[in-house]
């Protein structure tokens, strides 16, 4: 891997589709006995492949297996394909010997699906061959028992071929596999130094690849400085035009500060491209208005635009939260950098958000750029992002760490509601968790999350459960 501009570049983790291996099977003894059965099951398998591709997945279809020899050959093909998830389609009865080699050798988690042709058999007209096409449930307990005994985690989805409830569950596993693929191949930038005193933010860099995969690229603000200095005036003007399209500009925005933020944004894009990053966490204190302080203060616009493009960037050196934002984004919820701000006991809501960069795509309206003469708790001045997350269901996604060092997902679901908001350049939202805000805050803090997390739109807990299952992570679900 080289970071020279114009050199060979990998496919970014955030853009790679999940690679899903598909193997369908049934007992070969049936084919000569019931000649119409195998063609019917193969048509069902083709439909399954078609439906899986609709989840924006790359499907590696190794065809139909009929015995243990076929299963061993399929296992080798799927191992070589480096899949993120393998789906075994139980079309009718099949023996465990046909799937165990696949589950053991592939190196990927396995999902078994049992999708019969329709909701129910036509009992009056069906014979044995017709019934066998509905018999995918028969081997499922056998597979579960055998997988347990050989040490392979078991998961399954049962339904019928066009059962939307079943496909919603299958899609959940595919999305989770895609998120894990991003983590496994992700490159996470960490630029600057720890915000002084934040013990909870400090991260052992070895633990990221150790628990999640991927790579942490350690950067300096000088890496950004040289790229900002080389920013072309035409590119800066184009970034200013983009900014006016994406954001509403408050009267408090100083023209020179906006121009500086745009220039830093251009340099930041080059940094992300040159170091091939999928996420970025940063912080630099700086002194007396020197260049590094100005760079740190100018990061907000560019980081927000990167986050909207699916490359989460957040301040305060919060590597684990930038990764949580990446997870939330891959699961379709966006994910904006967030912390607790205040509790409104009169309205029964928790106010949360953050100063600095936000995720414009999850805003309830066109996000606002506000000019600030001082950033609270940080050095510098310039423009900051202000918005309220779209009203409706939201999920909090954090990445905590135990005393033993193990990473855990910490999550909670709530609802963003309307109400008064401060106008101070923060991404503040009012979140109703259906309980006393004080009790919820105590429960959330006890979950081990740290003081930053991703605030994502939608109800992501089912997807997070699938992600935790596939990735072998603990998931703490918080409710008061």
Along the 480 residues of the chain, how does pLDDT read in single tens digits?
333 333 334 556 666 789 999 999 999 999 999 999 999 999 999 999 999 999 999 999 999 999 999 999 999 999 999 999 999 999 999 999 999 999 999 889 999 999 999 999 999 999 999 999 999 999 999 999 999 999 999 999 999 999 999 999 999 999 999 999 999 999 999 999 998 888 888 888 999 999 999 999 999 999 999 999 999 999 999 999 999 999 999 999 999 999 999 999 999 999 999 999 999 999 998 888 899 999 999 999 999 999 999 999 999 999 999 999 999 999 999 999 999 999 999 999 999 999 889 999 999 999 999 998 677 667 667 899 999 999 999 999 999 998 888 999 999 999 999 999 988 888 999 999 999 999 999 999 999 999 899 999 999 999 999 999 999 999 999 996
Record the pTM: 0.92
Query: What is the structure's pLDDT at 403?
Result: 87
CA distance 353 to 364: 13
Structure token digits, residue 244: 């006016």
CATH 3.20.14, applies to 186-477:
yes
Q: Tokens 């700086």 — which residue?
A: 286
Within 10 angstroms of residue 345's Cβ, the number of other Cβ atoms is 9
CA distance 9 to 328: 25
**Which one of 2.40.128.630, 1.20.140.10, 3.40.250.10, 3.40.50.10940 gives the CATH number of domain 19-173?**
3.40.50.10940
Query: What is the structure's pLDDT at 2?
Result: 37
* Rounded-to-10 torsion of CA 282, 285, 290, 296: 30
CA distance 176 to 468: 8
Instruction: Please state the domain extents for the chain.
Output: 19-173, 186-477
Gyration radius of the chain over CA positions? 25
- Sheet with 382-386: strands ordered across: 248-249, 368-372, 382-386
CA distance 342 to 8: 48
Q: How far is CA 153 from the centre of its chain?
A: 22
Query: What is the structure's pLDDT at 356?
Result: 83
């Amino acid at each position: 891997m080289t970071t020279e501009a114009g050199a060979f570049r990998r496919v970014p983790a955030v853009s790679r589709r999940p690679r899903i291996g598909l193997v369908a099977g049934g007992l070969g003894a049936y084919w000569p006995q019931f000649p119409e059965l195998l063609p019917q099951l193969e048509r069902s398998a083709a439909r399954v492949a078609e439906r899986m591709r609709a989840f924006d997945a790359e499907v590696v279809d190794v065809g139909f297996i009929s015995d243990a020899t076929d299963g061993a050959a399929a296992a080798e093909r799927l191992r070589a394909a480096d899949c993120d998830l393998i789906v075994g389609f139980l079309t009718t009865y099949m023996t465990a010997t046909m799937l165990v080699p696949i589950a053991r050798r592939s190196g990927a988690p396995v999902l078994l699906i049992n999708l019969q042709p329709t909701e129910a058999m036509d009992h009056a007209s069906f014979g044995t061959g017709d019934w066998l096409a509905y018999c995918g449930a028969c081997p499922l307990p056998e597979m579960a028992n055998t997988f347990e005994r050989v040490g392979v985690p078991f998961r399954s989805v049962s339904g019928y071929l066009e059962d939307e409830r079943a496909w919603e569950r299958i899609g959940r596993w595919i999305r989770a596999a895609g998120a894990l693929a991003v983590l496994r191949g992700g490159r996470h930038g960490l630029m600057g130094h720890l915000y002084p005193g934040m013990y909870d933010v400090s991260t052992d860099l070895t633990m990221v690849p150790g628990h999640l995969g991927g790579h942490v690229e350690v950067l300096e603000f000088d890496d950004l400085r040289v790229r900002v200095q080389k920013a072309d005036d035409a590119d800066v003007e184009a970034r200013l035009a983009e900014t006016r399209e994406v954001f509403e500009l408050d009267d408090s925005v100083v023209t020179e500060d906006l121009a500086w933020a745009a220039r830093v944004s251009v340099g930041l894009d080059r940094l992300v491209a040159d170091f091939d990053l999928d996420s970025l966490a940063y912080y630099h204190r700086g002194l007396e208005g020197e260049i590094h302080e100005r760079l740190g203060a100018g990061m907000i616009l560019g980081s927000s635009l990167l986050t909207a493009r699916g490359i989460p960037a957040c301040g305060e050196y919060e590597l684990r939260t930038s990764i949580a934002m990446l997870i939330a984004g891959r699961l379709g919820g966006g994910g904006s950098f967030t912390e607790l701000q205040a509790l409104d006991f009169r309205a029964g809501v928790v106010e949360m958000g953050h100063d600095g960069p936000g995720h414009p795509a999850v805003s309830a309206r066109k996000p606002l750029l506000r000019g600030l003469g001082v950033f609270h708790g940080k050095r510098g001045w310039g423009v900051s992002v202000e918005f309220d997350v779209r009203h409706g269901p939201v999920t909090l996604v954090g990445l905590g760490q135990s005393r033993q060092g193990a990473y855990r997902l910490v999550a909670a679901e709530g609802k963003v509601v309307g109400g008064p908001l401060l106008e101070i350049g923060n991404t503040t939202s009012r979140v109703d968790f259906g309980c006393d805000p004080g009790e919820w805050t105590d429960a959330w803090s006890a979950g081990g999350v740290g003081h930053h997390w991703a605030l994502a739109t939608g109800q992501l807990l089912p997807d997070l459960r699938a992600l935790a299952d596939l990735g072998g992570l603990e998931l703490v679900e918080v409710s008061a």
